[in-house]
Amino acid sequence: EVQLVESGGDLVQPGGSLRLSCAASGFTFSDYNMDWVRQAPGKGLEWVGRIRNKANTYTTEYAVSVKGRFTISRDDSKNSLYLHMNSLKSEDTAVYFCSTRWLGDWGQGTLVTVSS
C-alpha cells in the first residue's frame, strides 16, 4: 500500500523559511516523479511543483507563484521528498500535499501558516 506522510508544517513569519518533508513507502520511490500541491484554507487546489525521477535527471517544474522561492528536492536513499520554502508570504499559507504516481496517490497534508 502506498503511503505518503508529510511533515514540517509550522507557523512562520513573513519572509521566513521552512522545509517540508514527505516520507514515502509502499512503492519504488526512485522510479516515480513526485509532486507538491497546496490548498489555502477554504480554497481550491494549486499545483506547486514536480521533481522527476533519476532517469529524467531529477529535473523540476514550478508554479509561477513559487518559482525562485521554492525548491523541490528528493533523497532516493531515504525515500523522501522535500519542499524548501524561502521568502514566505501570507499567501503561501496552506495545507501542502505530496503526491505521486501521476497524482494518483496523496498524503494527508501538512499545514503551513505564514503570519506575524
Partner 1 sequence: DVVLTQSPLSLPVTLGQPASISCRSSQSLVYSDGNTYLKWFQQRPGHSPRRLIQRVSNRDSGVPDRFSGSGSGTDFTLKISRVEAEDVGVYYCLQETYWPYTFGQGTKLEIK
**Contact call for residue 42 and partner 1 (CB under 8 A):** no
**Contact call for residue 108 and partner 1 (CB under 8 A):** yes
- The site that binds partner 1 (CB under 8 A) totals a number of residues, namely 19
The DSSP string of 14-77 is TT--EEEEEEEESS-GGGS-EEEEEE-TTS-EEEEEEE--GGGTT-EEE-TTTTTTEEEEEEGG
Burial (0-12, 13-18, 19+ Cβ within 10 Å), 37? buried
List 1, 55, 104, 116, residue binding partner 1 (CB under 8 A): 104
**Contact call for residue 34 and partner 1 (CB under 8 A):** no
List 94, 97, 100, 112, residue binding partner 1 (CB under 8 A): 97
Residue 77 CB, nearest approach to partner 1 (Å): 26
Residue 33 CB, nearest approach to partner 1 (Å): 11
Q: How far apart are CA 66 and CA 104, in angstroms?
A: 23
Interaction site with partner 1 (CB under 8 A): 37, 44-47, 49-50, 61-64, 97, 102-104, 106-109
